[in-house]
Amino acid sequence: MLETILVPQVGQDLTEAKIVALHVKLGDTVKRGDIVAEVESEKATFEVEAFANGVVTSLPYKVGDLATVLEPLVILESAGTAKPATVANPKPDTASAQKQTSSNEKISTETPVIENAPANGSVRSSPLARRIALANRLDIGHIAGSGPHRAVVVRDVEEAIAQSGGQALQLSAAASRLTLKTLKNGIGTPILLLHGFGGEIAAWRQLVMSVTTTNPMIAVDLPGHGSSPVAAKAGFVGLVDEVAATLRSLGGEFHLVGHSLGAAIAVALSAHAGIVVKSLTLIAPAGLGATINGNFISGFLSARSEAALAAQMRRLVYDSKNIPASLVGATFAARQASDIVQTQGQIAESLFEGSTQLFSIRNELVNFKGPCRVILGRRDIIIPPAETELAVPAHAALHRVEAGHMPFLEEAALVSRLIVQSVRSGE
């Protein structure tokens, strides 16, 4: 075993000390308490004492040297060790350290993407006027301003919208197989929302209202959900590949917000080539623990009446009034109009076996180095939060909220704020 005696700290801010005496040479045997060297600071001379027994195997400095404080001064091999390990180079390799720093810098100098930047950047306007003009695809340069210095203020934009007949807009997802909806226009990297098993885009509407960033918000119907077709490949990987293809067609850089199965897909996407995930917000994520409430899955899928469906959906929340009747109604109506239950039954079979989840995204989450927040409902009876919590890596921020499996419905304000924080730290 090697014991390294360091050049001592001899002042609060001193980084160097002069070696004025070395009382040992290579091969000497040293006892605990022996004085092995003397070093001098600008104030005084200090003796350096050995704190272990051993044989001197390395002396990086000689008398007269200016030594760096807390670098090795004497290296001892303690008695009874079989074979000395190689003595580490005591001086740091500054060249390679610098190299590493500069390559790190390179990685982090990405310019943020600003979408829909106004044609005329020099127009004076209030921030609110600019935001509303952008959201309505109006060129702020063509609006006459009535504020100080002819700045465009919100009343001017409102007037312009009224004149243009109030156009709405849709995000066009070129070449995408899955259904996408822009829930909010804006500037910056889009926030992409991934719903859970059995859900659809509509699940997010309430949350979107309270997210206060300027970033656009886009939601997708997962394969076999809402109005999206089934995935080409079966199983969890099939779902992830299908969503990945759609995201690449959109430009490939996102803040991801996922719920339950959608959260697991979000994590898996972070490991996908061609997709840059700037932050992850995972709400009651699947794929971290092994357990899922199989009884709920089968009950949810086999509900024939609207009343049975409502009863099952109430299990998703802690306070049953948080499941609006309209959501139950819409889910029920969608089932009547298509064979979606059968499709989702097949998806469930490929993802879950009874009460066991057949996929895990724990490794991908450990490897994700961006900002990550995990939000768990303390009262979740679909995916046990205690089990998920154990699998959350240390670098992810964990938030427990008073909710069931749907914290984004039950604690919308809090979840919105956490999403905003994720997005801010990821920009």
Q: Which stretch of DSSP H or E encloses residue 19?
A: strand 16-22
Out of 52, 154, 230, 381, which residue is the one contacting other proteins (CB under 8 A)? 154
Q: Using the rule CB under 8 A, is 184 a contact of other proteins?
A: no
Q: Which of the ranges 4-12, 107-115, 278-286, 365-373 carries the binding residues for other proteins, by CB under 8 A?
A: 4-12
Out of 8, 118, 199, 426, which residue is the one contacting other proteins (CB under 8 A)? 8
What is the DSSP annotation of 125-193?
A: B-HHHHHHHHHTT--GGGS---SGGG-B-HHHHHHHHHHHT--------TT-SS-EEEEE--SSSPEEE
Nearest to 411 by CA among 322, 314, 327, 331: 322
Nearest to 345 by CA among 409, 286, 384, 299: 299
Q: Which of the ranges 7-15, 115-123, 286-294, 401-409 carries the binding residues for other proteins, by CB under 8 A?
A: 7-15
Out of 18, 46, 115, 355, which residue is the one contacting other proteins (CB under 8 A)? 46
Nearest to 412 by CA among 136, 205, 129, 182: 205
Q: Using the rule CB under 8 A, is 6 a contact of other proteins?
A: yes
Q: Which of the ranges 147-155, 165-173, 287-295, 373-381 carries the binding residues for other proteins, by CB under 8 A?
A: 147-155
Residues 60-89 that bind other proteins (CB under 8 A): 69-70
Q: Max CA-CA distance within the chain?
A: 93
121/127 with CB nearer other proteins: 127
58/214 with CB nearer other proteins: 214
Closest distance between other proteins and the C-beta of residue 120, in Å? 19
For residue 29, list its beta bridge partners.
55
Q: Which of the ranges 54-62, 151-159, 201-209, 254-262 carries the binding residues for other proteins, by CB under 8 A?
A: 151-159
Q: Using the rule CB under 8 A, is 369 a contact of other proteins?
A: no
Q: Is 250 exposed, middle or buried (0-12, 13-18, 19+ CB in 10 A)?
A: buried
> If you ran DSSP here, which 8-state letter would residue 291 be given?
B
Residues 187-226 that bind other proteins (CB under 8 A): 212, 214
Q: Which of the ranges 43-51, 105-113, 226-234, 314-322 carries the binding residues for other proteins, by CB under 8 A?
A: 43-51
41/249 with CB nearer other proteins: 41
Closest distance between other proteins and the C-beta of residue 357, in Å? 27
Q: Using the rule CB under 8 A, is 252 a contact of other proteins?
A: no
Q: Under DSSP, is residue 212 helix (H, G, I), strand (E, B) or coil?
A: coil
Kind of pairing between the strands at 253-259 and 191-194: parallel
158/306 with CB nearer other proteins: 158
All residues at 6 or more sequence positions from 134 whose CB lies less than 8 Å from its CB, including other chains = 116, 118, 140, 185, 186, 187
All residues at 6 or more sequence positions from 340 whose CB lies less than 8 Å from its CB, including other chains = 224, 225, 334
Nearest to 91 by CA among 49, 42, 54, 58: 58
Out of 25, 31, 44, 305, which residue is the one contacting other proteins (CB under 8 A)? 44
Out of 18, 23, 124, 131, which residue is the one contacting other proteins (CB under 8 A)? 131
Q: Which residues form the interface with other proteins (CB under 8 A)?
A: 5-6, 8-12, 41, 43-44, 46, 48-49, 51, 69-70, 126-131, 146-149, 153-155, 212, 214, 394, 397
